Structure 1
Amino acid sequence: MTSALLPLLEQTYALRQAIRRRSHTGVTSGLAQGAMQGNVVILPADWANEFLLYCQKNPVACPLIGVSEVGDFTMPELGHDIDMRHDVPEYYVYRDGEKVESRSDIEALWQDDMVVFVLGCSFSFELALTQAGLTQRNIEEDVNVSMFETNIATVPAGRFFGNTVVTMRPYVAKDAIRAIQITTRFPKAHGAPLHFGTPADIGIDDLNKPDYGDAVTIKDGEVPVFWACGVTPQVAIRNAKPPICITHAPGKMLVTDLLDTDLSVM
Structure 2
Amino acid sequence: MDLNITPYDLRQMIRKGEFSGNTSGYSQGFVQGNLAIMPQEWANEFLQFCQLNPKPCPVIGMSANPGDFLLPDLGRDVDIRTDLPRYRIYEEGVMTQEVTDVREFWRDDLVTFLLGCSFSFEESLIADGLEVRNITEGVNVPMYRTNIPCRPAGRFSGTTVVSMRPMKPKDAIRAIQICTRFPSVHGAPLHFGNPEDIGISNINAPDFGDAVTINDGEVPVFWACGVTPQVAIEQARPPFCITHSPGHMLVTDIPNSHLAIM
Distance (whole Å) between structure 2 residues aligned to residue 180 and residue 32 of structure 1: 23
Matched, 1:45 2:40: yes
What is aligned with 2:59?
Answer: 64
What is aligned with 1:236?
Answer: 232
Contact 1:9 1:257 in 2 (8 A): no
What is aligned with 1:104?
Answer: 100
Please state how far the C-alpha of 1:9 moved relative to its aligned partner. 10
AA in 1 matched with 2:211 = A
Contact 2:4 2:28 in 1 (8 A): no
Matched, 1:54 2:49: yes
Q: Deviations over 1:225-250 (max 9, x none)?
A: 00000000000000000110000000
AA in 1 matched with 2:249 = M
Matched, 1:249 2:210: no
What is aligned with 1:174?
Answer: 170
AA in 2 matched with 1:94 = Y
Distance (whole Å) between structure 2 residues aligned to residue 143 and residue 136 of structure 1: 11
* Corresponding residue SS for 1:257: strand
Please state how far the C-alpha of 1:135 moved relative to its aligned partner. 1.9
What is aligned with 1:3?
Answer: none
AA in 1 matched with 2:244 = H
Contact 2:5 2:26 in 1 (8 A): no
Matched, 1:137 2:124: no
Please state how far the C-alpha of 1:10 moved relative to its aligned partner. 6.9
Q: What does 1:29-40 align with in structure 2 at a 5 Å threshold? A: 29-40=24-35
Distance (whole Å) between structure 1 residues aligned to residue 192 and residue 71 of structure 2: 35
What is aligned with 2:12?
Answer: 17
Matched, 1:201 2:230: no
Distance (whole Å) between structure 1 residues aligned to residue 122 and residue 70 of structure 2: 26
Distance (whole Å) between structure 1 residues aligned to residue 59 and residue 45 of structure 2: 14
Q: Deviations over 1:12-56 (max 9, x none)?
A: 100000110111100000001110000000001011000000000
Distance (whole Å) between structure 1 residues aligned to residue 20 and residue 90 of structure 2: 20
* Corresponding residue SS for 2:74: coil
- The one of 140, 145, 149 aligned to 2:145: 149
AA in 1 matched with 2:52 = K
Distance (whole Å) between structure 1 residues aligned to residue 239 and residue 70 of structure 2: 23
Please state how far the C-alpha of 1:95 moved relative to its aligned partner. 0.2
What is aligned with 1:126?
Answer: 122
- TM-score relative to the length of structure 1: 0.96
Structure 2, unmatched stretches of 5+, are none
- TM-score relative to the length of structure 2: 0.97
- The one of 73, 87, 94 aligned to 2:90: 94
Q: 1:110 to 1:128 in 2, by over 3 A?
A: same
AA in 2 matched with 1:217 = T
AA in 2 matched with 1:32 = S
Distance (whole Å) between structure 1 residues aligned to residue 138 and residue 62 of structure 2: 31
Structure 1, unmatched stretches of 5+, are 1-7
Number of residue equivalences: 259
Q: Deviations over 1:44-80 (max 9, x none)?
A: 1011000000000001110000010211001111101
